[in-house]
Amino acid sequence: MMSEKEKAQRGELYDANYDAELIQEREVAKTLCYTYNQLPPASKQEREKLLRQLLGVTGQSFLVEQPFYCDYGYNIEIGENFYSNVNCVILDCAKVSFGDNVFIAPNCGFYTAGHPLDVERRNKGLEYAYPIRVGNNVWIGANTVVLPGVTIGDNTVIGAGSVVTKDIPANVVAVGNPCRVVKELQ
pLDDT higher than threshold 90 for residue 186? no
Closest CA to 160 of 104, 77, 84: 104
- Rounded mean pLDDT, 62-76: 98
- Rounded mean pLDDT, 47-73: 97
**Number of compact structural domains in the chain:** 1
Q: Is 58 marked active-site?
A: no
Q: Domain with 32 in it: what CATH number? A: 2.160.10.10
| pLDDT tens, residue by residue, 113-171 | 999 999 999 888 899 999 999 999 999 999 999 999 999 999 999 999 999 999 999 99
Closest CA to 148 of 116, 110, 108, 120: 110
- Please report how the helices 20-38 and 44-54 are oriented relative to each other, as an axis angle in degrees rounded to 10: 170
Q: pLDDT over 70 for what percent of the chain?
A: 100
Radius of gyration from C-alpha coordinates of the chain: 16
pLDDT higher than threshold 90 for residue 34? yes
Maximum distance among all alpha carbons in the chain?
50
Active-site residue, selected from the candidate residues 30, 115, 133, 180: 115
Query: What's residue 179's pLDDT?
Result: 98
Query: What's residue 125's pLDDT?
Result: 85
How far is it, in rounded angstroms, from Cα 156 to Cα 139?
7
Name the residue type at position 24.
Q
- Residue 96 pairs in a beta bridge with 76, 132
Query: What's residue 185's pLDDT?
Result: 95
pLDDT higher than threshold 90 for residue 7? yes
Q: List the domain range (segments joined by +) for residue 136.
A: 4-184
